[in-house]
Amino acid sequence: MKTVEIGGGSATVEDVVAVARDGAVVGTTPAVAERIRKAREVLNRVAAGGQRIYGLNTGLGANLGTSVEGDASEFQRQLLHGRSGAVGEPLPVETVRATMFARASMLSRGGSGISPEVFEALVAALNAGIHPLMPSIGSIGAGDLVLMTALARCLIGEGEADYRGERLPAGEALADAGLSPVNLAPKDGLSLINASAISAGAGALAVADALSAFGQQQQAAALTMDAMGANLTILDPRLQAARPAPGQAESAAQLRTLLARDAEPAPGTLQDPLSIRCVPSIHGALLDAIGQARRAIEIELNTAADNPLVLADDALVLSTGNFHTPALALAFETLGLAVAQAAAASAARFIQLTGSGRNGLPKYLSPIGGASAGFVPLQKTVTAILAAIRHKANPVMLDFLPVSEGVEDHATQTPLTIAKCAEMIALWRRLIAFELMAAAQAVDLRDGELNDTVQKHRPFVQSPRIRTIHAAVRAHVATLREDRPLGTDAETLYAALSSGKWQA
């Protein structure tokens, strides 16, 4: 089984996916252990000197001015109980695993001052497959602490957890895995929860899904361009160099590879509709937005996002706003808009393919004509999916109210921004399935298999990669020869695209 090492400052989106979805083991190095030990010593020494330290010897939020009396360790348990206010359906196991990995990676930087034993307990629980049941509603993006309390409580044996597919009391799950509940030293509870680890973990999974869907969207667009006899001069690298917009040249290069053939036929048109002619621009902007989201996520994974922050080398403990994630929220709002733009173009190409007939293709892509509905009823479904995407594209990062008596008067809504972006990616992949279905049908019509008159209209020579994409579609969805329920076919193809095993 693969091992992912943390603490070196190089955790990636792919590392999160390996742990969250593929069950990779998380490993640490002696350097990480030493970094955490040193930071804890500094925290203890500064606290012993009488410095007021947020969440260690003071209350939280509006209780900032209240000193913690009595057992500081017991206050950490009280802190968790008092902030366990999350509700809603539990997060999926893969999101919980991504969250646990993200928090462990952040803590490995040493800035929290967490006790070594608590850090080790987090990593051990993750590797043992103990997944706390974490409600999904409760964070406004000023750190995910209300949601993260479920993770911290699990480590002390409270709450519930998923273990080997069974929902158990957390203490029982720990015992079954051969682990023991951990004792919290001063600040340990806050160290576990005061970060945007759910946002970082879920965001990494969303970026991975966006990259996967992007590759499939490129394939669908290429299949459409091939089927419609599009003018491929739009992919000329000299045109991309004339206006080097972000991602445009890369998208065009990928499309050239997909469409490359030994003999290029004359284009069927001088200029195609914009949803075809502007694919490099539209997809290039999306590719750049995915890159921005990746960079924002990987910053979170590899840095100390704690408040207060322990600067071990300087023997200081300072209050910060490092838990706040406006750049992360903005990156995913932008990604959502870029996904919506690409989805709209995919839907437009579907309408072009399935309409009254263009570039010699028969009406509705029906091989029998007459009163046959062909693919045209699916235009309504495609429009409904696009409307859902456009609705989710509306920004939410400015939707907050001042809380905690005005102490917390700004928020980012990062978890909601990432969640709706992930939902948009799933909807977008449904549109890709529709476009692939329609383009594959157009290919079958154009190559003469179903309609000899189309073959006479224009010589048809497919590229090797287009033949592979077409074959991948046909492995799941048969050619339409007479009207049948196409919604079922679309679901089948969507499931294949979403499985992580699509190969074309």
Question: Could you check whether the bond before residue 308 is cis, i.e. omega within 30 degrees of 0?
Answer: yes
User: What is the DSSP-derived secondary structure letter of residue 230?
Assistant: -
Residue 129 shares a structural domain with residue 33: yes
**CA separation for the pair 133, 162 (Å, rounded):** 7
**CA separation for the pair 371, 357 (Å, rounded):** 15
| 440 found inside a domain | yes
pLDDT at 72: 73
Give the CATH number of the domain where residue 348 resides: 1.20.200.10
Longest distance between any two alpha carbons in the chain, whole Å? 89
pLDDT at 455: 43
pLDDT at 453: 45
pLDDT at 478: 96
**Would you say 79 and 60 are in contact if contact means Cβ atoms under 8 Å apart?**
yes
**CA separation for the pair 130, 179 (Å, rounded):** 10
Residue 379 shares a structural domain with residue 458: yes
Phi and psi for 264 in degrees, rounded to 5? -90, 115
pLDDT at 457: 45
| 322 found inside a domain | no
pLDDT at 263: 66
| 314 found inside a domain | no
| 28 found inside a domain | yes
Residue 183 shares a structural domain with residue 277: no
pLDDT at 142: 82
**CA separation for the pair 114, 111 (Å, rounded):** 8
Residue 456 shares a structural domain with residue 430: yes
Which residue in the block uniquely carries the two structure tokens 């928090």?
103
Please list the pLDDT of the chain residue by residue as tens digits (504 residues).
899 999 989 999 999 999 999 999 999 999 999 999 999 999 999 999 999 988 788 878 778 778 787 787 788 999 899 889 999 999 999 999 999 999 999 999 999 999 999 999 999 999 999 999 999 998 988 889 899 999 999 999 999 999 999 999 999 999 999 999 999 999 999 999 998 999 999 999 999 999 999 999 999 999 999 999 899 999 999 999 999 999 999 999 999 999 998 767 677 778 989 999 999 999 999 999 999 999 999 999 999 989 999 999 999 999 998 889 999 999 999 999 999 999 999 999 999 999 987 777 899 999 989 889 899 999 999 999 999 999 999 999 888 888 877 777 888 899 999 999 999 999 999 999 999 999 999 999 986 655 544 444 445 667 899 999 999 999 999 999 999 999 999 999 999 999 988 988
Give the CATH number of the domain where residue 42 resides: 1.10.275.10
Residue 168 shares a structural domain with residue 219: no
Query: Which of these three, 134, 167, 195, is where a domain ends?
Result: 195
pLDDT at 460: 61
- Residue 216 domain boundaries: 203-304+334-498
| 328 found inside a domain | no
Please, which residues have CB within 8 angstroms of residue 493's CB and are 6 or more apart in sequence?
A: 433, 436, 437, 473, 476, 477
pLDDT at 449: 55
Residue 176 shares a structural domain with residue 242: no
Please, which residues have CB within 8 angstroms of residue 470's CB and are 6 or more apart in sequence?
A: 223, 440, 443, 462
Query: Which of these three, 166, 195, 224, is where a domain ends?
Result: 195
Residue 174 shares a structural domain with residue 285: no
Strand order in the sheet with 160-163: 130-132, 160-163, 166-169
User: What is the DSSP-derived secondary structure letter of residue 3?
Assistant: E
Query: Which of these three, 169, 195, 221, is where a domain ends?
Result: 195
| 298 found inside a domain | yes
| 403 found inside a domain | yes
Residue 118 shares a structural domain with residue 221: no
Residue 87: burial class (beta carbons within 10 Å; 0-12, 13-18, 19+): exposed
Please, which residues have CB within 8 angstroms of residue 338's CB and are 6 or more apart in sequence?
A: 285, 286, 288, 289, 290
The partner residues of 161 in beta bridges, in order of sequence, read 132, 168
Number of domains the chain is built from? 2
Intra-chain end-to-end CA distance of the chain, in Å: 27
Residue 226 shares a structural domain with residue 244: yes
| 37 found inside a domain | yes
Following DSSP, what letter does each residue of 319-387 receive, concatenated?
Answer: ---TT--HHHHHHHHHHHHHHHHHHHHHHHHHHHHHSS--TTPPGGG-SS-TT--TTTTHHHHHHHHHH
Residue 263 shares a structural domain with residue 402: yes
Residue 123 shares a structural domain with residue 173: yes
pTM here is 0.95
Residue 185 shares a structural domain with residue 218: no
